[in-house]
Each structure stands twice: as C-alpha cells, then as structure tokens.
Amino acid sequence: MIKEGGALVAVAICCNRSSVSGQLQDLPLVSLTEIPFTKWPEEDCDACVRQVAMNTTVGHGKAWLEEHLDPKLWPAYVKHVLHSA
C-alpha cells in the first residue's frame, strides 16, 4: 500500500481481548469488537491444576514457562493439588 503512495492512518484489531486502547507507533488503535476475558490469579488457574499444555507461540506462555519450569510447582497445582492432598 505504501509502495503505491498510500498512507497508514490507523491500526485495526479484529478482536480486542484485553481492552487495549491508545496508539501503536503513533497510529490510532481501532478495535472491530471487544470481548473481555475473565482473568484470575495464577494460583487459581484451572488449566494449570489440570496440567494443560500451554501455548508458547503467542501471548506470554513461553515467558511464563521459562519462569515456572516444573509443572508440579506451578502455583495453582501446588495450591489445589499438593496442599489439598
């Protein structure tokens, strides 16, 4: 588009899951739809209790797994499985 003489005027997001607003590289950020997701403390994460594999290609999954190497020591697993046994 820019190669043909066009100009970027905004950045559009199809689905905004985290109420992000503002600008991206000095361009207005526009959401086509917003779907709020329930958030909970990591010690109450049901997927962690069940040891569900975490997506490491998008989001913060890779960084979280690097910080929490052993699934048996994940905060939710410790709280809901180890301490309730």
Q: What is the pLDDT of residues 53-85, one digit of tens each?
A: 888 887 788 888 999 999 999 999 999 998 886
Tokens for 33, please give them. Answer: 């739809």
> In this predicted structure, what is the pLDDT of residue 1?
64
1: its two tokens: 């588009």
Residue given tokens 């086509």 in the structure block: 32
Q: Which pLDDT belongs to residue 5?
A: 86
pLDDT per position as a tens digit, 30-56: 888 888 878 889 899 998 899 998 888
Q: DSSP class of residue 14? A: E
- 15, pLDDT greater than 80: yes
Total residues belonging to the chain: 85
Model pTM above 0.75: no
Residue 84 C-beta-side C-alpha neighbours within 13 Å: 8
User: Are the CB atoms for 37 and 18 separated by under 8 Å?
Assistant: yes
